[in-house]
Chains A and B, each alone.
Chain A
């Protein structure tokens, strides 16, 4: 589904990603973790071309992301993405947030889009909020709307960029629950997150990054039981011991 081969990126002389290679198969849930500044967010933003990269290759569902001939907008419409800061459109109601891209990008009718939108809001438990504006919702609710908005496009896979980092602790679980459910339904997912509980529950594999390199890429059992690199062991020790 997603294959990366020796992806590298630099801003000027600063190397952000170095030779990142990995594979994500259909139905897999990959958790990407690592210390801040290790390039995890940049890595998943490269998958849908939100961040350009200078060398290497990323193939999503048979389409090369880095190829200048690729219609990136079309590719992105098939890949759902959820951001740390939700990025709902504040000038539109919740239901319009879910409908706008369905109508303008996929060409669905107003009725089709709204029906789909309401169904998805129902699924994330927010049907009653459809006519409100993003500013009237809590962070956790906004993030669930953002997930529903991405799902409304019927994506072939979903990218999550630290979806719970900006949330108050008591709202983290409501978002993780939605993500867990999605994973159990077989959605292909790539999640940058520090939620190791989530990783233990649903991840197929864990990727650990440090200084722009993929240091570990292993099954979750192998990663949590006996991470090979010292850097990953230190990282795990730090985040699991409190």
Chain B
């Protein structure tokens, strides 16, 4: 039987916390940029301008049909080189965090755009008609009337997707970026206490994600009764 020894955890808490900060940073930036880009994709998808609609459909289908970890690797391997040559940055600039955020944001945007598209379509058509009848342009009607209602209905789904994203940030270990999971792994590896550290990391992920989904569900119920 394995003898558990948890003593390496207390001393490594600052290091683990640094990792958690990276995980949260990636999650928040990817959620924000993913929702912005996802909204634009959803609007393109619903646009009567065919090429825009095709582009958005192609984008969404492409990103939904490849594994996330592969997208992340593309971003770690290809994009930094590209930026180095484009922007004339010195070779070897550490862009792992930026690449990770970009990779997650572009990947998640595909999922967000589908949620947002459904949200827009859930707003009764008459709302667009009423806004148009008041003389609003298509853009004004979307921005002032349709999207605010769509987002209000979508908040629970968007948050749930954010929770999934938070779990998926652990995949940045492929770039040796010390997010929370990476940090825990490193500490465990260093002290020969991998099992303890992975159990501890798992417990932390569980508590955070479970609490967050409870809060989302609570909000969802309140939305239903409102």
Q: Considering the complex, give the chain B residue whose CB is closest to the CB of A152.
A: B134
CA distance A106 to B136 in the complex (A): 10
Contacts of A100 in B (CB 8 A): 134, 144
CB <8 Å contact, B129 and A87: yes
Total count of chain A residues near the partner, CB < 8 A: 25
In the complex, B152 has a CB within 8 A of chain A: yes
Place the interface of chain B in its size category: 10 to 19
Q: Given A90-B149, A91-B148, check contact A105 B126 (CB 8 Å).
A: no
Option from A50, A80, A104, A153 in Cβ contact (under 8 Å) with B144: A104
CB <8 Å contact, B133 and A85: no
In the complex, A36 has a CB within 8 A of chain B: no
In the complex, B83 has a CB within 8 A of chain A: no
Q: Considering the complex, give the chain B residue whose CB is closest to the CB of A88.
A: B130
Give the dominant DSSP class at B's interface. Answer: helix
Option from A79, A85, A153 in Cβ contact (under 8 Å) with B126: A85
Q: Given A76-B135, A101-B135, A104-B136, check contact A83 B148 (CB 8 Å).
A: no
In the complex, B140 has a CB within 8 A of chain A: yes
Q: Considering the complex, give the chain A residue whose CB is closest to the CB of B141.
A: A73
CB <8 Å contact, B135 and A83: no
CB within 8 Å of A: which B108-149 residues:
124, 126-127, 129-137, 140, 144-145, 148-149
CA distance A153 to B134 in the complex (A): 8
CB within 8 Å of B: which A66-92 residues:
73-74, 76-81, 83, 85, 87-91
Option from B124, B133, B145 in Cβ contact (under 8 Å) with A81: B133
Q: Given A89-B145, A91-B149, A105-B140, check contact A50 B133 (CB 8 Å).
A: yes
**Residue from B130, B131, B144 with most neighbouring chain A CB atoms (10 Å):** B130
Option from B127, B129, B136, B145 in Cβ contact (under 8 Å) with A105: B136
In the complex, A9 has a CB within 8 A of chain B: no
CB <8 Å contact, B129 and A101: no
In the complex, A205 has a CB within 8 A of chain B: no
- Could you tell me the distance in whole angstroms from the C-beta of B47 to the nearest C-beta in chain A? 17
Encode A143-170 as 1/0 by CB contact (under 8 A) with B: 0000001100100000000000000000
6 additional A-B residue pairs with CB within 8 Å, beyond A76-B133, A76-B134 = A50-B132, A76-B135, A89-B149, A104-B140, A105-B135, A149-B134
**Could you tell me which B residues sit within 8 Å of A by CB distance?**
124, 126-127, 129-137, 140, 144-145, 148-149, 152
Pull 17 A–B residue pairs with CB atoms less than 8 Å apart, ordered by A: A50-B129, A73-B137, A74-B135, A76-B133, A79-B133, A80-B133, A85-B124, A85-B126, A87-B129, A87-B130, A89-B131, A91-B148, A91-B152, A100-B144, A104-B136, A105-B140, A149-B134
